[in-house]
Amino acid sequence: MKTICAISTPLSEGAISLIRMSGDEAIRIADKVFRSFSEKQASHMTGHTCAYGKICDGEKTVDDVLLTVFRSPKSYTGEDTVEISCHGGIFVTKKILEILISSGAEPAAPGEFTKRAFLNGKLSLTQAEAVMDIISSEGERALYSANNMREGAVFKKITKVRESLVSLLGSLAAWVDYPEEDLPDVELTAIEKTVSEALGELKALIKSYDDGIIFKEGVETAIVGSPNVGKSSLMNILLGFDRSIVTDIEGTTRDVIEESARVGDITLRLCDTAGIRETSDTVENLGVNLARKKLEGARLVIAVFDASRVLNEDDKKILDEINPKNTLVVLNKIDLESKITKDSFDRFEVVEISVAEQRGLDELKESVLKVLGADSFSSQENFFASQRQKNCAEKACAYLKNAISAVRMGETLDAVTVMIEEALSYLLELTGEKASEAVVDEVFSRFCVGK
């Protein structure tokens, strides 16, 4: 396989840059361009050692660097690999890359190092996807989950499910020559039990993915409320800086403003909206329609009410449109005399705050987690690293469900076998053991160059 090279650190000015080269020729190419100060050239270095020296362009010194050698198979990719740590300038880093290319290496495609690691059996496809998750993690929970996955937790779980199905297929093959009516009921019950257990395991993984996704991707959040209840003020507090102009004139927040805020370990993708209410102002009406759309699409709705006045028509309209399943009711302005209480919001999670006095904000954060069902989520649960993995599991589940119905309806064992085989093929695609080249390419194309 050709020898590839790429810059593995972000291309911006910094203290150090790292250039990586992997393949059969990596060490020979390093010998051409690297002069060790200890006279020990790359080809004389053992794996996992580094040398101090310089990269030369002909007779000219380009930079003093630290060069590390990894020898196959004990490297990230499984191939001979050389890593060059140079000074973190954009020009010098690019220059060293150019020298490697002109000495025989080829530029790596996105994710090609990790793809080679996968092809050389260094990690499974699920582990490779977890590597990408570690890079993109925005919080501790997402990071620990990704690490859990990189250590192979999902792969092991899927393998266990797969093994039970494979052994079931073995039994089915043994019974398949029997006439259907001779098959003892106890065997049918056993088939159904094994398939149901496998289905249960997969469903649990899918559920933990759905729960975990909020830590990974953040939560679409709509802040709704009638004018002047304090939506913009709340949003500004959550964001920690002033983004929209807060005024006393009704209907000033005409556009939908989107920003991200961290609440505990979750990123809320917030949008503050023009309140939902009937209005004759066309511009504001546009805002109102947008607000409705956002309300429909949001995973979390924060509905703000002014506790210092009784509910008006606008408030009541909002109450009609929100759903306790995804809505946190916020009673703002408790620094003033309260005219409404939590009791008006039966079935909703309610929190009382004062943005003006910054009271109740910790409780607000806790309530957000409660509404999202995230207060009990454990990062130790294995959740899939990608929608791709989840889709594979869902397809496998669909076939397993069909297999169960087939058993119950007394269909032939051949039919049951075919469905279980289909489910298995999706599990093999999930772990990458039988993923098509197109699937593998798609996964790695989402990596950055140099990874």
Non-local CB neighbours of 16 within 8 Å, separated by 6+ positions: 9, 85, 86, 87, 88
**Is there binding between residue 232 and ligand GDP (CB under 6 A)?**
yes
Which one of 336, 347, 363, 378 is in contact with ligand GDP (CB under 6 A)?
336
Least distance (Å) between residue 249 CB and ligand GDP: 9
Find the length of the chain: 451
Handedness of CA 21, 23, 25, 28 (dihedral sign): positive
Q: With contacts defined by CB under 6 A, name the span among 63-71, 128-136, 292-300, 328-336 that binds ligand GDP.
A: 328-336
Least distance (Å) between residue 263 CB and ligand GDP: 18
**Is there binding between residue 221 and ligand GDP (CB under 6 A)?**
no
**Is there binding between residue 354 and ligand GDP (CB under 6 A)?**
yes
Which one of 246, 256, 361, 449 is in contact with ligand GDP (CB under 6 A)?
246
**Is there binding between residue 450 and ligand GDP (CB under 6 A)?**
no
Least distance (Å) between residue 239 CB and ligand GDP: 13
Considering the complex, state which of residue 22 and residue 332 has its C-beta at the smaller distance from ligand GDP. Answer: 332
**Is there binding between residue 162 and ligand GDP (CB under 6 A)?**
no
Least distance (Å) between residue 289 CB and ligand GDP: 17
d(CA 66, CA 55): 10
Which one of 20, 141, 162, 231 is in contact with ligand GDP (CB under 6 A)?
231
* Site residue total, ligand GDP (CB under 6 A): 18
**Is there binding between residue 277 and ligand GDP (CB under 6 A)?**
no
d(CA 35, CA 18): 18
**Is there binding between residue 230 and ligand GDP (CB under 6 A)?**
yes
Considering the complex, state which of residue 131 and residue 355 has its C-beta at the smaller distance from ligand GDP. Answer: 355
Least distance (Å) between residue 220 CB and ligand GDP: 19
Q: Footprint of ligand GDP on residues 114-143 (CB under 6 A)?
A: none
**Is there binding between residue 229 and ligand GDP (CB under 6 A)?**
yes
4 DSSP β-pair partners: 22, 106
**Is there binding between residue 225 and ligand GDP (CB under 6 A)?**
yes
267 DSSP β-pair partners: 262
Q: Footprint of ligand GDP on residues 403-442 (CB under 6 A)?
A: none
Which one of 273, 332, 386, 402 is in contact with ligand GDP (CB under 6 A)?
332
d(CA 203, CA 191): 18
Residue 350 φ/ψ region, left for φ over 0, alpha for ψ in the -120 to 50 degree band, beta for the rest: beta
**Is there binding between residue 253 and ligand GDP (CB under 6 A)?**
yes
Considering the complex, state which of residue 181 and residue 248 has its C-beta at the smaller distance from ligand GDP. Answer: 248
Q: Footprint of ligand GDP on residues 50-89 (CB under 6 A)?
A: none
Residues making contact with ligand GDP (CB under 6 A): 225, 227-233, 246, 248, 253, 332-333, 335-336, 354-356
